[in-house]
């Protein structure tokens, strides 16, 4: 156990429940500095302020509980149960038409460094901090107690995200139950294959659920281009909503193969009708846009991976958002709609909107904002940690 004493001038933020304690706020540290160790945090006059996971780096402590120096009894079970209750309130916990949701969204669920996504009866854990990685067993036990028989397996997908120093070889795998992958989940009645072992992130981008529904609303009778389509989330909603044609573009061949399977699955179920036209294109999104004809598409979805993974990358990322969106706005048919997104946490919504504004100005076309979009409620933002709002979207109408 590490004891951390804060500088008097740096105590305010933890008293206001911000879950990160930066190394620069620490006046004195007692104990062995070790990634993932438990740390108690005290004010300069010795009052217990918080307890959390220690990590060597800029964010030194990720707070699990405030106003105490020890983890309360049954901590993991209580937190996970609370998260489950919250998803029940959202109507996600037992829902036949939507069988995949985020159970734990890090700071948004007061568990900084931890992501848990539920796919049918499997929980996929992704630890983004050493402390959460080391707590996998306790987390799994808590999941089992919360879900009972409804949980068949727990898969750990932390090898690429748990920040351990070189030398420690991590591997992904099942930590409870037998293999359950790949599986097909349902989202608003539409089916998708998800492979958490080989897919990106935990296997599926659950954070676009609500925004996909909105794309569906605008797709009837339209020719739609879905850039950065992954396994076809937006494409499937457009096809199910009566789009005349959908073209899906992604640079990942594996993602495109899964997309094809997803179309098959939904055609079989009668969700996607047989006359709906679909083209899969494995290409760079910008290159594809350059080659496409002006006016070919009525709706374009632009959902790239995070361009800025840290603050230093922000200026380049903004230029990339501008370039990409200028190309989309330039190519779209008159009266067309662009759905554009950024999932870079480091780029805030004002900066993103400015990039889209510059993109519009570059094309000289008349553009109106129809909707401002964000992440769905199962990716909650802790009010004391506004940084947790990472997904930004704008829906624009181009004359
Ligand atoms: N819209 C998707 C999620 C997109 S994630 C959904 O709803 O599920 C970002 C995707 O961009 C990934 O599938 C990745 O393979 C793809 N990608 C990354 N760089 C690319 C590029 N230069 N051109 C095309 N696709 C790219």
Residue 195 lies in a domain: no
- Domain of 149, CATH number, reads 3.30.750.80
Residue 197 lies in a domain: no
Q: Which residue has the tokens 């909707």?
A: 371
Of 31, 66, 101, the residue at which a domain comes to its end is 66
Q: Is 251 in the pocket of ligand 1 (CB under 6 A)?
A: yes
pTM of the model: 0.97
Tokens of 99: 């069988």
Cα 93 to ligand 1 centroid, rounded to whole Å: 28
Q: Is 341 in the pocket of ligand 1 (CB under 6 A)?
A: no
171: CB partners within 8 A, 6+ apart: 159
pLDDT, one tens digit per residue, over 211-246 is 999 999 999 999 999 999 999 999 999 999 999 999
The whole-number pLDDT of residue 163 equals 86
The whole-number pLDDT of residue 166 equals 58
Q: Which residue has the tokens 């990409």?
A: 324
Residue to substitute in 192, 193, 196, 304 for testing ligand 1 pocket (most ligand atoms within 8 angstroms of CB): 304
**Residue pair 398/366 in contact by the 8 Å Cβ criterion:** yes
**Residue pair 223/299 in contact by the 8 Å Cβ criterion:** yes
173-209 core/surface letters (b: 16 or more CB in 10 A; e: else): eeebbeebbbbebbbeebbbbbbbeebebbbbbbbbb
Same domain, 324 and 392: yes
Residue 189 lies in a domain: no
Same domain, 153 and 209: no
Residue to substitute in 281, 305, 341 for testing ligand 1 pocket (most ligand atoms within 8 angstroms of CB): 305
Residue 23 lies in a domain: yes
- Domain of 7, CATH number, reads 2.30.130.10
Same domain, 263 and 175: no
Among protein residues, the one whose CA lies closest to atom 10 of ligand 1: 228
Pairing of strands 100-105, 38-42: unpaired
The enclosing H or E element of 341 equals: strand 336-342
**Residue pair 230/261 in contact by the 8 Å Cβ criterion:** no
Cα 226 to ligand 1 centroid, rounded to whole Å: 10
- Per this entry, what is the length of the chain? 399
Q: Which residues of the chain have pLDDT under 70?
A: 165-167
Q: Is 192 in the pocket of ligand 1 (CB under 6 A)?
A: no
Among protein residues, the one whose CA lies closest to atom 5 of ligand 1: 305
User: The domain containing residue 247 runs over which residues?
Assistant: 205-398
- Domain of 311, CATH number, reads 3.40.50.150
Same domain, 262 and 314: yes
Rounded to the nearest 5°, which phi and psi values hold at 50? -170, 165
Same domain, 130 and 274: no
Distance between alpha carbon 59 and the CA centroid of its chain, in Å?
21
The whole-number pLDDT of residue 178 equals 95
Residue 193 lies in a domain: no
Residue 270 lies in a domain: yes
Which is the closest atom of ligand 1 to the Cα of 205? Answer: 8
- C-alpha to C-alpha distance for 37 and 355, rounded to whole angstroms: 41
Q: What sign does the CA torsion over 33, 107, 206, 143 have?
A: positive
Residue 199 lies in a domain: no
The whole-number pLDDT of residue 275 equals 85
Of 19, 38, 66, the residue at which a domain comes to its end is 66
Same domain, 243 and 177: no
Q: Is 303 in the pocket of ligand 1 (CB under 6 A)?
A: yes
Which is the closest atom of ligand 1 to the Cα of 212? Answer: 7
Cα 116 to ligand 1 centroid, rounded to whole Å: 21
Among protein residues, the one whose CA lies closest to atom 20 of ligand 1: 251
The whole-number pLDDT of residue 167 equals 60
pLDDT, one tens digit per residue, over 268-312 is 999 998 888 999 999 999 999 999 999 999 999 999 999 998 999
- Angle between helical axes of 233-240 and 253-268 (0-180°, round to 10): 30
Residue 367 lies in a domain: yes
**Residue 102 in 3-state DSSP?**
strand
| Count of structural domains within the chain | 3
Same domain, 172 and 113: yes
The whole-number pLDDT of residue 274 equals 82
């Amino acid at each position: 156990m590490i004891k951390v004493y804060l500088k008097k001038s740096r105590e305010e933020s933890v008293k206001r429940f911000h879950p990160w304690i930066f190394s620069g706020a620490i006046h004195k540290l007692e104990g062995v500095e070790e990634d993932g160790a438990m740390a108690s945090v005290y004010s300069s006059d010795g009052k217990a302020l918080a307890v959390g996971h220690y990590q060597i780096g800029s964010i030194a402590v990720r707070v699990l509980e405030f106003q105490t120096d020890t983890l309360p009894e049954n901590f993991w079970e209580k937190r996970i149960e609370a998260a489950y209750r919250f998803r029940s309130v959202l109507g996600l916990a037992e829902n036949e038409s939507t069988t995949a949701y985020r159970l734990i969204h890090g700071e948004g669920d007061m568990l900084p460094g931890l992501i848990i996504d539920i796919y049918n009866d499997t929980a996929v854990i992704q630890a983004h901090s050493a402390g959460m990685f080391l707590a996998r067993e306790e987390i799994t036990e808590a999941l089992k107690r919360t879900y009972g028989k409804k949980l068949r397996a727990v898969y750990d997908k932390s090898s690429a995200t748990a920040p351990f120093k070189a030398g420690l070889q991590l591997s992904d795998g099942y930590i409870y139950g037998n293999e359950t992958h790949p599986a097909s989940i349902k989202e608003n009645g539409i089916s998708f294959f998800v492979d958490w072992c080989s897919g990106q992130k935990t296997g599926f981008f659950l954070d676009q659920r609500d925004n996909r529904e909105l794309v569906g609303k605008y797709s009837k009778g339209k020719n739609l281009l879905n850039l950065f389509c992954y396994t076809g989330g937006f494409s499937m909603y457009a096809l199910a909503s009566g789009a005349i044609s959908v073209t899906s573009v992604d640079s990942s061949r594996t993602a495109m193969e899964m997309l094809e399977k997803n179309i098959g699955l939904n055609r079989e179920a009668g969700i996607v009708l047989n006359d709906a036209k679909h083209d899969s294109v494995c290409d760079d999104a910008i290159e594809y846009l350059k080659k496409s004809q002006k006016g070919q598409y009525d709706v374009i979805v632009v959902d790239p991976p995070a361009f800025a993974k840290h603050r230093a990358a922000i200026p380049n990322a903004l230029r990339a958002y501008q370039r990409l969106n200028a190309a989309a706005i330039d190519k779209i048919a008159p009266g067309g709609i662009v759905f554009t997104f950024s999932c870079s946490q480091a780029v805030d919504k004002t900066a993103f909107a400015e990039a889209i504004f510059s993109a519009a100005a570059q094309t000289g076309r008349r553009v109106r904002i129809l909707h401002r979009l964000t992440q769905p409620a199962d990716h909650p933002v802790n009010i004391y940690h506004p940084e947790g709002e990472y997904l930004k979207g704008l829906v624009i109408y181009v004359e």
